[in-house]
Amino acid sequence: MIQLEGIDKSFELRGGQRAAALRGLSLAVAPGEHVAILGKSGSGKSTLLNLIAALDRPSAGRVRVAGTDLAGMAESALALWRGRNVGVVFQFFQLMPTLTIAENLVLAMELVGGIAPAKRRDRAMELLERVGLSDQAHKLPSTLSGGQQQRAAIARALANDPPLLVADEPTGNLDSETAGAIGELFEELSAQGKTLLLVTHDRGLAGSARRVVELKDGRVVADTQHVIPAQAGTA
Amino acid sequence: MSLLWRKVLGDARQNGKMLAVIALVLAMGTAGVVAALDAQAILKREIAASFLGAKVPDIALWFERDAPAAQALVAAHEGVAGVEPRRVAFTRIAARDGSWLPMRLTILRDIDAQSVGRIHRHGDAAAAGGSGLWIEQSGAALLAEQVGERLRVRTPSGAIASEPLAGFVHDPSVAPSVQERFVFAFATPEVAARLGQSAEFDQLWVRMVQRGDTANAVLLGEELRDALKAVGKPLLRFEAMPGSHPHAALMNAMLRVLGVLSAIAFICSASLAGYLVSAWMKREVRQVGILKAIGARWHQVALQYVLLLGPLVLVVAAIAVPAGGALGLALVRHYAISLNIDVVDWSAGSVLLAQQLAFTLAIAFASMAWPIVRASRMSVREAIHDAGIASPLTAGSRLAKSLTLPGGLRWTFAARNAMRRPFRLALVLFALAGGGALLLTTHSNYESLMAVIDANLAHQGHDLEVFLPRAVPAAPLEAAVRPVPGVEIAEAWRRARVSVAGEGTSSTTLKLIGLAGYPPGSRLFKLPVLEGRAPAEGAPDEILMTRTVQEPYPQVKLGSDVTLQFRERRVNVRVVGIVEEIGSPVFYAPFAAFDAVTGQGDASTVLRAKTRSDSPEAVASAVDQALLEARLPPVQMVTRAMFRDALDEHFNVVGDVLRMVALAAALAGAIVLGAGTAFNVMERTREIGVLRALGATPRSIAAMLLAEGISIAATGALLSIAISIGLTLAMNGAASRGLLHVAVPLRFSMPGLAILAGGLVLVVLAVWLTLRLSLRRSVRESLAFEG
């Protein structure tokens, strides 16, 4: 599903200096894998996620996701590819404030155009039912709790039925009980065959993953199955 | 340096561009206010002073001959402050391009010293021995001749005499020559004699000690008439002069418009500055939260922004006030020429300056301080928590939620986003609607006025009118003109000035108005009779009136029996019909009735002609030549186009300022919309990043944002149209009452609407440019954007 080869990513700082976020990173993720990415702040976890989700481009190296080489794709083509193949879940939900949560899902489908117009509303209700929010469908995001908003955001990420779901600190803004519920939701999605990639400091969330990749200074320092590093994710 | 000031300076460096834009907006608005108020104050004072300085006569006494013989008696009469003899003749003068312009020649004893009806030399005035013809300075552009060059003037017999241009004088009591299409000339009796005119004074111009109103002038005129009659020096007639500048109404309208200009300039700039600061504070929210989290209280937070903006406002004032003052003086110079006034004191006054400063700075400061205080009072949780694209539930968002458009959800999304910030939306719509309404109103008002003028002119059967200095029989007059190529119809008409005597009037209210006589079977009298009927052919006691007769004589109505007074004659007639015509009040009468009233017989002073040529001006020249050859030299020839142009010039006195106001306001509205749209895009960079993450292409994002901007612009345009209709109707009504004296129906300006549509182009440009910048960022950068 995901293949990264020799990835370098650096950012320009004021004064012309560059800071390297990823250095020669290579990673492969099979379809259906549930992967947690851990590391201290500044280790490059979010940068890695952004490259996989085509939210950013590498300085060097090759990114191949869902059978597509992302290098050289024009912005419009990249946007459509992203909409069809990657569902993104943000730490701060990022729901459109002037649309109801059902409308947020319909907008995602409308932007990509992969779901027939006549089926969009029904699909939105199904997804909200799936995440336990069908009775909140016609409410504005600001009237919902953080947990409800995150579940709505997950439903939106699934709107176009992408094979890959990426989430950057999806429970970073939630209390532990709510975070647990979100974690269970991710487990269900993984069980249904979605490929999941989660950046998290949450030990519980990381624990539910089948595979944990640890980054340090822009490099993979550990890649284990069913193991949670004792100090991983701590500042 | 204290930490607070270091932070303020650091913020100033970081937000330099924003502060520069705010400063520019405030400077423009302040300069506009200062310019308009200064110009208004100076012009109001100097218009009055200029007219007073001209010592305009209050009464004109006409004698058959030798007016100076009565001068001493008149001067000694109680209530008389000054008397001067004059003679006024009408003829024509050649311009450099060969055309002949109507000229009013005032003959006076001394060009340099008058106690009544003062004129003074203007510019360089050296000439051959100081003798020659003096021209009112506003006619210089019409004549295009230099001092010392010889001017060609028609004599009463039609011959051409020439006199050197002695120089230019300024007569502040007359409207500019370019508006009146008349050259005002002045000469001594010796020069007048060389031009074939009589050198004998036949008028005495009288200035009163205390004028009061026109009734007082009429009373004094009657006393003088009776006194002179008693000593065997009877008057032909007397006239109480208006006592105000011929364009007083226009000047007052222009002064009011300048006041409106200042208000608009200020409101727009204060609104825009407040808007910019509001948007800026939105971006500062996180910093506010952090400051408060580490212990700052709201007034301490507010203080740092106030300290940033306070000096800015002072710098703006230091630049804008002198700039506005200079602009105001330029406005005064422009209007000194177009209103033909003398400006002696160019200062606006220090009291006015202090008022301007206090008002503009205080209001500008308050409009910016309010968003600062509002942001400073935000709770820490609200401020720091604002890391996403969520916005609190407001009345605006509740209202927006109910808005659903047909078609795709993205259009509903765009429409709801437009309503997301009600205050900002209101500000943008206010600026847009106000500016757009003014722009549409000025254009619509002008088109309405010109449409009425064109409709009225179309009702006139003639397109050429010729005025003669003396009455002549109709037959030779018509015979001279009818054979001229291009002339289809030529009719000799008659004119006189009469007053209405009878119940409800007294001698003190007698006002002379025109009586126009048309020939039997006239093919050129085509004014539609709106009420009543046309006079019967040959009826000696039936007349028509224009509606405007009711202004001086409100008791005269359809069906009224009125007594018309012409000199010593009083004749009873009946008003059988009402017509409508632009201009002064007029009675229209068939020759039979005209003769009954005036007793003048076959004596015409006017010829009206209809031409069949595309160029009536060329036919007019030919008619002029034919009349000269027939020894019937005219003093004035007016084509329909000349009449229309003269009215256009009058409108432009106020129209110029109105258009300036409208353009400034519309520009301000467009800038507010463009800036607001650009800010909108910039503020929502993170949201745009989320949309891109969801799969939105740059094109679909641009479409949504464009739809948002265009929906605001379209709403503003609709409001502009609605407001402009009301304003145009009001302005048309004022023009109808004060200027044209006919109804002015609404004519909506399509060119004005097209200019407004140009504002949409600005929106598209602002969105496109800002979006380009926004889309240069990667999705990751957009999501991480802090503003």
SS (H, E, C) A8-59: EEEEECCCCCEEEEEEEEEEEECCCCEEEEECCCCCCHHHHHHHHCCCCCCC
DSSP state letter for B740: I
Per the confidence metrics, is the pTM higher than 0.95? Answer: no
**Can you give the pLDDT at residue B722?**
93
- CA–CA distance, B100 with B337 (Å, rounded to integer): 23
Q: Which residues contact B252 (CB under 8 A, 6 or more apart)?
A: none
**Can you give the pLDDT at residue B3?**
65
What Rg value do the Cα atoms of chain B yield, rounded? 34
B138-155 pLDDT, tens digit each: 888 888 778 888 899 998
Rounded mean pLDDT of B495-514?
72
Range in B109-113, B611-615, B654-658 with the lowest mean pLDDT: B654-658
Rounded mean pLDDT of A164-179?
85
- Given a contact cutoff of 8 angstroms between Cβ atoms, the answer to whether A128 and A153 are in contact is no
State the Cα angle at B629 between B628 and B635, rounded to 5°.
Answer: 10
**Can you give the pLDDT at residue B400?**
66
Highest mean pLDDT among B250-259, B280-289, B480-489: B480-489
- Given a contact cutoff of 8 angstroms between Cβ atoms, the answer to whether B139 and B184 are in contact is yes
Q: Which residues contact B706 (CB under 8 A, 6 or more apart)?
A: B763, B764, B767, B768
Helix (H, G, I), strand (E, B) or coil at A81: helix
Range in B236-240, B306-310, B390-394 with the lowest mean pLDDT: B390-394
A226 phi and psi, to 5 degrees? 55, 25
pLDDT at B587 over 90: yes
Helix (H, G, I), strand (E, B) or coil at B775: helix
Rounded mean pLDDT of A175-202?
86
pLDDT above 90: percentage of residues in chain B: 24
Q: For the range B287-294, what are the long-range contacts, defined as Cβ-Cβ under 8 Å and sequence gap of 24 or more?
A: B288/B375, B288/B376, B288/B378, B288/B383, B289/B378, B289/B380, B289/B381, B289/B382, B289/B383, B289/B384, B289/B385, B289/B386, B290/B383, B290/B384, B292/B379, B292/B380, B292/B383, B293/B380, B293/B384
Name every chain B residue with its beta carbon within 8 A of the beta carbon of A90: 388, 690, 693, 783
Query: How many Cβ atoms are within 10 Å of A30's Cβ, its own excluded?
Result: 10
Confidence of residue B399 (pLDDT cuts 50, 70, 90): low
Query: How many Cβ atoms are within 10 Å of B522's Cβ, its own excluded?
Result: 16
Q: Which residues contact B340 (CB under 8 A, 6 or more apart)?
A: B136, B137, B138, B170, B171, B172, B174, B175, B176
Min Cα distance A11 → chain B (Å) is 11
Q: List the beta bridge partners of residue B546.
A: B579
Query: How many Cβ atoms are within 10 Å of B110's Cβ, its own excluded?
Result: 8
Which contiguous run of DSSP H or E holds residue A7? strand A2-12
Highest mean pLDDT among A108-117, B340-349, B482-491: B482-491
Q: Which residues contact B29 (CB under 8 A, 6 or more apart)?
A: B265, B266, B268, B269, B270, B272, B273, B360, B364
A57 to chain B: nearest residue by CA?
Answer: B778
pLDDT above 90: percentage of residues in chain A: 30
- CA–CA distance, B294 with B716 (Å, rounded to integer): 44
Of B343, B583, B628, the closest CA to residue B484 belongs to: B628
Name every chain B residue with its beta carbon within 8 A of the beta carbon of A82: 692-695
Name the residue with higher pLDDT: B598 or A40.
B598
Q: How does A102-124 read in b/e, with b if 16+ C-beta sit within 10 Å?
A: bbbbbbbbbbbebbeeeebbebb
Name the residue facing A103 among B409, B419, B696 (closest C-beta): B409
Q: Do B401 and A98 touch (CB under 8 A)?
A: yes
Name the residue facing B397 among A55, A97, A160 (closest C-beta): A97
State the Cα angle at B400 between B398 and B405, rounded to 5°.
Answer: 140
Q: Which residues contact B229 (CB under 8 A, 6 or more apart)?
A: B235
- Given a contact cutoff of 8 angstroms between Cβ atoms, the answer to whether B35 and B325 are in contact is yes
Confidence of residue B127 (pLDDT cuts 50, 70, 90): very low
Q: Which residues contact B278 (CB under 8 A, 6 or more apart)?
A: B371, B423, B424
* Domains of chain A in sequence order: 30-58+75-225 (3.40.50.300)
A101 to chain B: nearest residue by CA?
Answer: B401
- Given a contact cutoff of 8 angstroms between Cβ atoms, the answer to whether A49 and A63 are in contact is no
Name every chain B residue with its beta carbon within 8 A of the beta carbon of A100: 401
Name every chain A residue with its beta carbon within 8 A of the beta carbon of B382: none
CA torsion sign for B677, B679, B682, B687 is: negative
* Distance separating the N- and C-terminal Cα atoms of chain A: 31
**Side-chain-side CA neighbours of residue B70 (13 Å):** 31
Q: Do B390 and A92 touch (CB under 8 A)?
A: yes
Helix (H, G, I), strand (E, B) or coil at A202: coil
B728-750 pLDDT, tens digit each: 898 888 888 777 777 889 999 99
- CA–CA distance, B461 with B480 (Å, rounded to integer): 20
Query: How many Cβ atoms are within 10 Å of B399's Cβ, its own excluded?
Result: 12
B681-693 pLDDT, tens digit each: 777 888 888 898 8
Q: Look-up: residue for tokens 């955001």?
A: A153
- CA–CA distance, B56 with B222 (Å, rounded to integer): 19
**Can you give the pLDDT at residue B518?**
95
CA dihedral B241, B245, B250, B254 (to 10 degrees): -150
Which amino acid is it at B290? I
- CA–CA distance, B46 with B527 (Å, rounded to integer): 42
pLDDT at A213 over 60: yes
CA torsion sign for B678, B684, B686, B690 is: negative
Q: Do A83 and B389 touch (CB under 8 A)?
A: no
Q: Which residues contact B158 (CB under 8 A, 6 or more apart)?
A: B627, B628, B631, B632, B633
Name every chain A residue with its beta carbon within 8 A of the beta carbon of B407: none
Rounded mean pLDDT of B530-543?
93
Name every chain A residue with its beta carbon within 8 A of the beta carbon of B14: none
- Given a contact cutoff of 8 angstroms between Cβ atoms, the answer to whether B508 and B218 are in contact is yes
Q: How does B594-603 read in b/e, with b if 16+ C-beta sit within 10 Å?
A: bbbbbebeeb
Q: Which residues of B touch A (CB under 8 A)?
A: 387-393, 397, 400-401, 408-410, 412-413, 416-417, 419-420, 686-687, 689-700, 775, 778-781, 783
pLDDT at B508 over 50: no
